[in-house]
Amino acid sequence: MHRTKVKVVTDALDANNTIAHANRHDFDHAGVTVVNFMSAPGAGKTTLLERIVTELDGVRVGVLEGDVAGSYDADRLSALHVPVTQLNTDAGFGGECHLDANMVRSALHEVPLGEIDMLIIENVGNLVCPAEFRVGEDVRIMATSVTEGEEKPLKYPLMFRACELVLVNKIDLIPHLDVSLDRILHNIDSVNPKAETMCVSARTGEGIDAWKTWMGDLVRRRAGAPA
């Protein structure tokens, strides 16, 4: 049998990245700033979003809600009267544990890009796979909660390294836990010294104002930037 070696030299995620670029082009065209929001299940992504989506100082926020199944999170956010688009990864997508660029693309026609300034894509709760798949976002933010322990950054560096901002959530629970906030912050810094970190509590609202300012600045920076 005759065998031939074929040079490929292609990043195996190129196909995804190409679609992510197409998404990005559409977002840029609409002037919408896009955040890919990731975390482990239960870190508090939806509760954090409930804290900011209606109060971002004039910034109109829309949410693209990724979940394996159900619309529990989307229902919570819809109750706040912000445009929410549900994207289930098990309805024709094979129950994926993350969003990829193509899934986001398939839902874009339902997102009112003309009516919003910022789209927050709430990814499927998972500390590994979402980090591999860009979806066309401007920035990546992750939430980690103090209840997850101190070593998560060291165990899941891929995710922590992928983000520009890490929110350390549930700090109101610190007095009840045997974890050190300093240790968590040190471990995040060790894995991703370039990342900004903010300590917050979605429950009490502590630290949320600083996050809101950060998010608002993203949109204002874009508005101020030359086209």
Within positions 111 to 150, which residues make up the interface with other proteins, using CB under 8 A? Answer: 128-129, 131-133
Letter string b/e over residues 151-169, b meaning 16 or more CB atoms within 10 A of that residue's CB: ebbeebeebbebbbbbbbb
Cβ nearer to other proteins, comparing 117 with 150: 150
Q: How many residues bind other proteins (CB under 8 A)?
A: 36
Name which position in 54, 190, 204, 213 contacts other proteins (CB under 8 A). Answer: 190
Confirm if 151 and 200 have CB atoms less than 8 A apart.
Answer: no
Name which position in 7, 81, 109, 176 contacts other proteins (CB under 8 A). Answer: 7
Per DSSP (E only), the strands in 44-189 are 61-67, 84-88, 118-122, 139-145, 165-169
Name which position in 157, 207, 210, 222 contacts other proteins (CB under 8 A). Answer: 157
Q: Is residue 3 near other proteins by the rule CB under 8 A?
A: yes
Let me know if 80 is exposed, middle or buried by CB neighbors in 10 A (0-12, 13-18, 19+).
Answer: middle
Cβ nearer to other proteins, comparing 84 with 184: 184
Confirm if 208 and 50 have CB atoms less than 8 A apart.
Answer: no
Q: Is residue 182 near other proteins by the rule CB under 8 A?
A: no
Footprint on this chain of other proteins (rule: CB under 8 A): 1-16, 96-98, 100, 128-129, 131-133, 153-154, 157-158, 161, 189-194
